[in-house]
Structure 1
Amino acid sequence: MSNKPPSTLRRLLLGGAFAALASLVLPGPAAYAEPTKNLRIGYQKFNSVNILKGSGALEKALAPQGIKVSWYEFAAGPQLLEALSTGAIDLGHAADAPSVFAQASGKSVVYLAAEQPYPRGIGIVVREQDKVADIAALKGQRVATGRGWNAQYLLAVALQDTGLSYKDIDPAYVNNAADAVAALQSGSVKAVTLWDPFLAAAEKQPGLKTLRDGTGLTNNRTFYLSSPAFADENRGVLKTFFTELGKVSNWANAKPKEVAALLAPQLGIGADVLEVASERRNYNAVAITPEITAEQQKLADTFQGLGLIPKPLKVADAVYPVSVLP
């Protein structure tokens, strides 16, 4: 078997490497003495923010206020949140685990809103030829994952659910989904943790299968985040952002085929892959409720218990106290 991922998956995964270069050309920190005139948004492949970018609706909504919009693509949540914390971007989205790790590392970021649960959008993937029957069969095996990934959290709770612990596997840490899948294809690991659209792409490849997704284990929410200073000075801009985001999210929920058609040429990803991922997702943003905060707290406590977060943290401290939803 070739060590290279099949062509469709390979194009998708390698795109993340080029996206990561965006961080090298981002503008420097901005001062927020007054409302911004250039809203800098970080996004990842296949998300409601990505769809909003493709629609052009936000630019039209903010133009009368003299506000421009700049977009920066990132390979994953940790890189996006690093840029947000340094002031290189103003607003972005990331999954639950990267958001907790950002708070744990002392980054100045706040939760603004969350998406609906998306448990089928993360998974633990294996090769059929390895005959891995269940999560328990991963005991003592190497598993490729990333530090602070939402799919790393899935791995931790899936092991707990079957009576094992994270210490019962040999984690092989990688920086991106491309490296994870390459390791699986080469046979150097028995499983990898992935998220959509990389998960959907892997599921379409012969010889690969999802051993377990997040159903019943984790809600796998996407969060919208900013810095406290930017949010304080730009609540009106943020309300406009979430208004336009809500419109495209409603459209995306109802039209997965159209979502795929919109994003496929933009991302260089097959429409069949994007349609699968879109059909199992609810894009709508909601306020951060005590229940959602409790979900995040459980995640933080789990990682802290594994020694991956050095000390306890209080997720509620990072929730922005003023609603910016329309």
Structure 2
Amino acid sequence: MAFWKLSHSSCASRFRRALLLVLSVICIGSVFSHAVLAEDRPVLRIGDQRGAIKALLKVAGELDQIPYRLEWSIFPVGAPLVEAIAANALDFGYVGDATATFALAGHAPIKTINVWRFHGFGAALIVPEKSSIHKLADLKAKKIALVRGSPAHLLVAAAFKQAGIPLSETHLINLTVADAKAALASGSVDAWAIWDPFIAAAELNDHARVILSSQGIIDEVLCGVASDRAIATKRAQLLDFIARVQRAHAWADSHIPDYARVYADDTGVSYEVALKTIERMKVVVTQAVEDQDIAVHQKVADLYFELGIIPAHLDVTQAYDRSFVVGEAGASRSP
């Protein structure tokens, strides 16, 4: 009897070990299989400015169950982002119409396939708290730091034109964001044309003053720019990604504090800066590019040409692909 018990116990033990071995092999095979499948999925390479879109998709739950892989590249401003798309180093990203215009003037092989209608604060001109500058006319013969070809450059050009002041009566200094921030703090420049979250950070951290913003001065669209290669080979992924962005923005409208927390964590700005940025950001992600969107962009290109910022007139219509349409519920569909 004792022998039977011993044999039964030994067999049971061997069975358990064998079962564990089989399960381990299955698990390892499953992990390997998933890894292979993940590598086999198509890749969509996204450019993002300061991680804002990635944070938005993350907090809205739109990074879950994606049938392709996302590879993110983060940029401080839009110019290098759109250059990477033009060079086929990235597939897609959002940049201001001013930035897209500057790239198109350089014959960048890109197309806008989706737009955001931007109704928020936009770019702004800021000055130090104790500056004697209080209005645009005070900037005559002064130095304004900006990123050449950016939405902030557009704001300065449009504001001076609206005020009837020749742009030649001020000094535009092309600087990176980091250098412009330091130049304003040191007094090397008198004003800084920039956008959020840099405006919000300057207001909250450095007590900078806003003397004017894009609102009421210039209409803008944000261009969803893709490479010709991505348009030809990754249409389904691009449509799905845009649909996710559209749903995420709709969700964020009623979850601003939640978005601000993730935005702060992911980008490194404070929660207060993130909240101020998001509260005044009014964006509508379109289902499809419409005539009115191209008209807004064309005015930007015309202004840039009129002021000599770009060397030749541009017909921006040629830089749009209107075949990308996203369904009303955020589900992508082909036109």
Contact 2:55–2:262 at 8 Å: present in 1 too?
A: no
Residue 325 of structure 2 is aligned to residue 320 of structure 1 = no
Q: Among residues 39, 44, 50, which one is paired with 1:39 in the alignment? A: 44
Aligned residues: 287
Residue 177 of structure 2 is aligned to residue 177 of structure 1 = yes
Q: Please show how residues 9-158 of structure 1 align to structure 2 within 5 Å.
A: 37-45=42-50, 47-53=52-58, 57-58=62-63, 60-62=65-67, 67-158=68-159
Where does structure 1 lack aligned partners over 5 or more consecutive residues?
Answer: 1-34
Contact 1:52–1:245 at 8 Å: present in 2 too?
A: yes
**What is the CA distance between 1:120 and its match in structure 2?**
0.7
SS in 2 for 1:102: helix
What is the rounded CA distance, in whole Å, between the counterparts of 2:269 and 2:174 in structure 1?
Answer: 25
What is the rounded CA distance, in whole Å, between the counterparts of 1:89 and 1:206 in structure 2?
Answer: 35
| TM-score normalised over the length of structure 1 | 0.83
Contact 2:289–2:322 at 8 Å: present in 1 too?
A: no
What is the rounded CA distance, in whole Å, between the counterparts of 2:55 and 2:117 in structure 1?
Answer: 17
Percent same amino acid among aligned pairs? 29
Contact 2:124–2:199 at 8 Å: present in 1 too?
A: yes
Contact 2:90–2:227 at 8 Å: present in 1 too?
A: no
Contact 2:47–2:94 at 8 Å: present in 1 too?
A: yes
Q: Bigger shift: 73-82 or 35-44?
A: 35-44
Q: Report the structure number with the largest CA radius of gyration.
A: 2
The answer for the alignment partner of 1:230 in structure 2 is: 230
The answer for the alignment partner of 2:292 in structure 1 is: 291
The verdict on how the C-alpha distance between 1:36 and 1:138 changes in structure 2, with shifts beyond 3 A counting, is farther
What is the rounded CA distance, in whole Å, between the counterparts of 1:267 and 1:116 in structure 2?
Answer: 23
Q: Bigger shift: 269-278 or 231-240?
A: 231-240
The answer for the alignment partner of 1:31 in structure 2 is: none
**What is the CA distance between 1:104 and its match in structure 2?**
1.0
**What is the CA distance between 1:288 and its match in structure 2?**
2.0
User: Could you tell me which amino acid in structure 1 is paired with residue 170 of structure 2?
Assistant: I
SS in 1 for 2:253: helix
What is the rounded CA distance, in whole Å, between the counterparts of 1:206 and 1:71 in structure 2?
Answer: 31
Contact 1:156–1:165 at 8 Å: present in 2 too?
A: no
What is the rounded CA distance, in whole Å, between the counterparts of 1:299 and 1:36 in structure 2?
Answer: 39
Contact 1:119–1:219 at 8 Å: present in 2 too?
A: no
Contact 2:118–2:283 at 8 Å: present in 1 too?
A: no
**What is the CA distance between 1:325 and its match in structure 2?**
2.1
User: Could you tell me which amino acid in structure 2 is paired with residue 116 of structure 1?
Assistant: R
